Structure 1
Amino acid sequence: MITLLMLGDSLVEWGDWQRFLPGVAVVNRGLAGEMTGELAARLHDEMAACPDPDAVLVQSGTNNLLFGDLYFPYIFETMLPRLRHSYPHQPILVCSLTPMPIVPAADLAQVNQGLARATAAVANGHFLDLVGPFTERCLPITLPGFLDDQVHLSSRGYQVWADEISRALARLFPDRTAG
């Protein structure tokens, strides 16, 4: 079984990961309402509490973006090397932000490009671009990926995200069951 440390905001915290990622032991360290700077501030404690995961996943910035902060990806440029130092061999997966209906597409593209750059600068960093899968598999009326607040994920949205995580884990750990 793969142990996955998941760091992030309410999207991580509220996920039913046992349901959506069977065969993965998720250490859920999501915190609702959190901004990326707050995650960076608690990073040391999180790494101490989970010293040896097989992989680390970071999903952060939703709240920053909702408050108009397009520069939070720069925090990843300091946060990801800290993760790499503590977890020298584990893959670090960074998730793009999802295409929330209430966020301008240009803003989303800008921050996701910054997240991708920060991820590429770290050894064994893997960027999971969720925009395509959400655009293809979540239709506003028939298969909505978001709840009515247009930010939090529906069961469909979580399934799409979990499928992308599962695919990434299967590539990274081909000899182990990832769900």
Structure 2
Amino acid sequence: MTDQGMSGMGPTALVGDSLTQGGDWQAWMPGETIYNFGVGGDTTDDVVARLWDVINAQPTVVVLLIGTNDLAWRRSVEHIVRNVETILVTLRRELQETRILVQSVLPRGHEFADQIRDINRHLWQFAPTVHAQWLDLWPALALEDGELNPAYSEDRLHLNDEGYRVWLNELVPALERLRQQPPTSRAITLPDLGGAA
């Protein structure tokens, strides 16, 4: 096995907060070379500040999930979206041959549902402009009212083992689809935006 992984691709960088940090991605995706750039407590501002760590690693795939900690800091939807757009524009400019997968902000307590849906709607619309693919994790993890399914979390925020299993079941096929597309292809599927609010 080479460091190119089973897919023949180079390393995959997973970028985000404690949700990403907490995953045992290398064990779960044994054919891949995984760089875990998840940092507990990180906001979108933090990812903007450390983005060159990711760029300097020269990954062939970047998987991004960030934004939920901003909500705890009472950051506005506009602030979060603008920062994620900055992250994506910078990644695309500096890593032109890298495939980018943007994941929807995960559900948490239902009191955040409207804000998260709004963020995700903006990111879904923006992702194709930087030739990034979109993965909507909301349908797999949210209840009708936008609450993170309690089967997948003990604290309405962090995922338990079952929550990570559900996420992985969505992520692995999305990565396979992503790798079949050229780095600059447009999004190929429309998301389910979690139902009309």
1:168 aligns with 2:174: yes
- Sequence identity, in percent? 33
Deviations 1:24-71 (A, max 9, x none): 2210011111110111011113211x12x2210111111002233222
Structure scoring higher RCO (CA < 8 A, sep ≥ 6) equals 1
Contact 1:74–1:114 (8 Å) recurs in 2: no
In the alignment, the residues of structure 2 paired with residue 159 and residue 21 of structure 1 have an alpha-carbon distance, to the nearest angstrom, of 12
Q: TM-score, normalised on structure 1?
A: 0.84
Structure 1, unaligned runs of 5 or more: 175-179
Alignment size in residue pairs: 166
Q: How far 1:135 sits from its partner (Å)?
A: 3.3
Give the 4+ runs in structure 1 shifted more than 3 A.
none
Q: Does 1:77 align with 2:98?
A: no
Q: Which amino acid aligns with 1:38?
A: D
Question: CA offsets per residue over residues 95-128 of structure 1, 9 Å max, x none?
Answer: 11111135432111111112212312212x0111
1:58 paired residue among 55, 60, 64: 64
**Correspondence for 1:99:** 107
Paired position in structure 2 for 1:177: none
Q: 2:159 maps to what in 1?
A: 153
Residues in 2 aligned to 1:45 and 1:135: alpha-carbon distance in whole angstroms: 32
User: What secondary structure is seen at the aligned counterpart in 2 of 1:88?
Assistant: coil
Corresponding residue SS for 2:96:
coil
How does the TM-score come out when normalised to structure 2? 0.77
Unaligned runs of 5+ in 2: 181-197
SS at match of 1:27: strand
Distance 1:54 1:104 in 2: 33
* Match 1:128 to one of 132, 135, 149: 135
Contact 1:145 1:154 in 2 (8 A): yes
Cα deviations by residue, 1:115-150 (Å, 9 ceiling, x for unpaired) = 212312212x011110011138x853xxx111x221
Q: Distance in 2 between matches of 1:149 and 1:99?
A: 12
Does 2:52 correspond to 1:44? yes
Aligned to 2:15: 7
- Structure 2 residue 38 is matched with structure 1 residue 30: yes
Q: 1:58 to 1:139 in 2, by over 3 A?
A: closer
